[in-house]
Chain A
């Protein structure tokens, strides 16, 4: 099996709203796969369908080699959908024992302690979850996703509500799950910088459809731009026309790499003083903005 998730023409409608609109997607085994999209793009709906929480209106999905709802296949994956909630009267340790039992696993203390340690909750193991912060709930959610030692983990907004050190730890954990444990991680996030840092491949969704898919390097390579530190910048902007924009003191030229030498020659001939000229890669944010046609920057990166 080369793909862990495969969807074909997956559609989910709520009344007149099409949350998913004929989505066909193949997520390969191994690595960290990011699903990006603005609010309402259909990411959470996709994850909920993959986990069997909701039924698709049309289309089909294969997860770990089985159709949706196939319990044998589902037992090979772990998940965390948004900020998880737990029975408030239970401690973190009890939650792990409860879900280990529910998943048919022996819930011995050493195993539970190991996972609590891995997500940094050892000190809070015997505290009731009703007093947990959002970040702690997220960590416990990840521990639950991991306790069954799955081959695939689906994480919806895994860093939501976490402080910067927590985000960094979570990023390291996700990478180590993929690199050292060989688990395929599929995550949805609004934090584009985080996705760029942690994911190997990315799917960008908008209005329930897949608009772009590929490795992070593939997606960002095509959008290279020439960054120029020049004087006078107005003259350069005039030459570039619609292809030029100002970024601080620098001018950004959105031109193909092949046109670079000709542009520099033309600027020198016109007496422009060039301090520095270098190619900068496009980041995921700009690709995201282009592909989704977003006019506003998503909350998390404002």
Chain B
């Protein structure tokens, strides 16, 4: 355990010194979305002001009710798996997973720890990075909602009971696991290819491939709720989980599908991690 902690702390220390990567993978997108979102709302407000000057419209037609920040939070948690956030988090995880190949620094670290610990240390930091990216995304998204309300002159309410809290927590957890799972495709690509570009692009290409597979499933006679479809397409499993969480007790997604989806996502994580460690264990870590 001590040696695993050594691997984790040293990896975390090095990653925090890589400020550009931290910026791009954690901070950039939430700021961009906040700025673009606020600008968009401001533009919308201007347009609405023009429309409301029309004397033919009944008064109060376009006035908005209070903004429910509790529901906004739940919606934001459902957006964690959006492709943009995934892409920017992958920049960070790719640097973590492929950095030692790129800088040839395995020779400095590999003699003094087990190879499994070195990989687990990286995965641990990638998980922390993902948590940080998700939290910053949620915080800036929440600020964006506040700005939106202020621009439109809305009052705020905060409906966040047990149901909303449960939905928020489960959506955030499912989204987090999905991002980690896509990142682990990058880990396997990193140890197999030793290439930073492959570590970044293979998960993206696989994700795009899954999207097309989901669209063409009916051609194979696959139902989206079947276990085998979810086992092959973890993206589908993630979507099913999301639908089930949002639908709650009234959800049309059967319980068996929810379990299959959860097992698929976690199973993929385990398989990818074990595969990467197994490959790394027998790998020559030196260029000849």
Bound state CA distance, A102 and B108, in angstroms?
Answer: 9
Closest to A129 in B: B103
Q: Are A51 and B111 in contact (CB under 8 A)?
A: yes
Q: Are B288 and A97 in contact (CB under 8 A)?
A: no
Q: Which residues of A contact B110 (CB under 8 A)?
A: 51-53
Q: Are A74 and B112 in contact (CB under 8 A)?
A: yes
Q: Which residues of A contact B109 (CB under 8 A)?
A: 99, 102
- The contact of A89 among B9, B18, B107, B288, by CB within 8 Å, is B18
Asked if A84 lies at the interface with its beta carbon under 8 angstroms from chain B, I say yes
- The contact of A53 among B17, B20, B99, B106, by CB within 8 Å, is B106
- The contact of B17 among A55, A77, A89, by CB within 8 Å, is A89
Distance in Å: Cβ of B5 to nearest Cβ of chain A: 8
- The contact of B285 among A53, A77, A89, A99, by CB within 8 Å, is A53
Distance in Å: Cβ of A251 to nearest Cβ of chain B: 46
Asked if A54 lies at the interface with its beta carbon under 8 angstroms from chain B, I say yes
Asked if A53 meets B286 with Cβ closer than 8 Å, knowing A87-B18, A102-B10, the reply is yes
- The digit string for A252-263, where 1 denotes a CB below 8 A from any CB of B, is 000000000000
Distance in Å: Cβ of A157 to nearest Cβ of chain B: 14
Please report which residues of chain B, range 15-44, place their CB below 8 angstroms from some CB of chain A when the two chains form the complex: 17-20
Q: Which residues of B contact A94 (CB under 8 A)?
A: 13, 17
Asked if A246 lies at the interface with its beta carbon under 8 angstroms from chain B, I say no
Q: Which residues of A contact B56 (CB under 8 A)?
A: none
Q: Are A98 and B14 in contact (CB under 8 A)?
A: yes
Asked if A87 meets B2 with Cβ closer than 8 Å, knowing A14-B288, A54-B285, the reply is no
Bound state CA distance, A51 and B108, in angstroms?
Answer: 10
Asked if A104 meets B282 with Cβ closer than 8 Å, knowing A71-B112, A85-B103, the reply is no
Bound state CA distance, A48 and B104, in angstroms?
Answer: 13
Q: Are B286 and A54 in contact (CB under 8 A)?
A: yes
- The contact of B284 among A53, A85, A101, by CB within 8 Å, is A53
Distance in Å: Cβ of A188 to nearest Cβ of chain B: 14
Q: Are A99 and B103 in contact (CB under 8 A)?
A: no
Closest to B106 in A: A53
Asked if A55 meets B282 with Cβ closer than 8 Å, knowing A79-B111, A87-B18, the reply is yes
Q: Are A85 and B106 in contact (CB under 8 A)?
A: no
Bound state CA distance, A77 and B235, in angstroms?
Answer: 46
Asked if A198 lies at the interface with its beta carbon under 8 angstroms from chain B, I say no
Bound state CA distance, A101 and B9, in angstroms?
Answer: 7
Q: Are A48 and B3 in contact (CB under 8 A)?
A: no
Bound state CA distance, A77 and B17, in angstroms?
Answer: 27
Q: Are B6 and A104 in contact (CB under 8 A)?
A: yes
Distance in Å: Cβ of A114 to nearest Cβ of chain B: 20
Q: Tally the A-B contacts, defined by beta carbons under 8 Å.
A: 85
Bound state CA distance, A45 and B284, in angstroms?
Answer: 11
Asked if A279 lies at the interface with its beta carbon under 8 angstroms from chain B, I say no
Q: Which residues of B contact A45 (CB under 8 A)?
A: 288
- The contact of A74 among B20, B103, B111, by CB within 8 Å, is B111
Asked if A103 lies at the interface with its beta carbon under 8 angstroms from chain B, I say yes
Distance in Å: Cβ of A54 to nearest Cβ of chain B: 4
Asked if B113 lies at the interface with its beta carbon under 8 angstroms from chain A, I say yes
Please report which residues of chain B, range 225-239, place their CB below 8 angstroms from some CB of chain A when the two chains form the complex: none
Q: Which residues of A contact B113 (CB under 8 A)?
A: 71, 102
Asked if A89 meets B19 with Cβ closer than 8 Å, knowing A54-B285, A71-B114, the reply is yes
Bound state CA distance, A103 and B105, in angstroms?
Answer: 14
Closest to A156 in B: B107
Asked if A75 lies at the interface with its beta carbon under 8 angstroms from chain B, I say yes
Asked if A240 lies at the interface with its beta carbon under 8 angstroms from chain B, I say no
Closest to B7 in A: A102
Asked if A144 lies at the interface with its beta carbon under 8 angstroms from chain B, I say yes
- The digit string for A84-128, where 1 denotes a CB below 8 A from any CB of B, is 111111100010011101111000000000000000000000000
Distance in Å: Cβ of B146 to nearest Cβ of chain A: 35
Closest to B19 in A: A89
- The digit string for A4-32, where 1 denotes a CB below 8 A from any CB of B, is 00000000001000010000000000000
Asked if A183 lies at the interface with its beta carbon under 8 angstroms from chain B, I say no
Q: Are A103 and B18 in contact (CB under 8 A)?
A: no
Q: Are B6 and A103 in contact (CB under 8 A)?
A: yes
Enumerate 18 A-B pairs (CB-CB under 8 Å) in ascending A order. Answer: A53-B107, A53-B110, A53-B284, A53-B285, A54-B285, A54-B286, A71-B114, A74-B112, A79-B107, A84-B107, A84-B108, A85-B105, A87-B99, A87-B103, A88-B103, A97-B13, A101-B10, A101-B13
What 5 additional pairs, Cβ within 8 angstroms, besides A71-B112, A74-B111? A55-B282, A71-B111, A71-B113, A74-B112, A84-B108
9 closest cross-chain pairs (CB), A and B: A102-B10, A101-B10, A54-B284, A53-B286, A74-B111, A104-B6, A53-B285, A85-B104, A48-B286
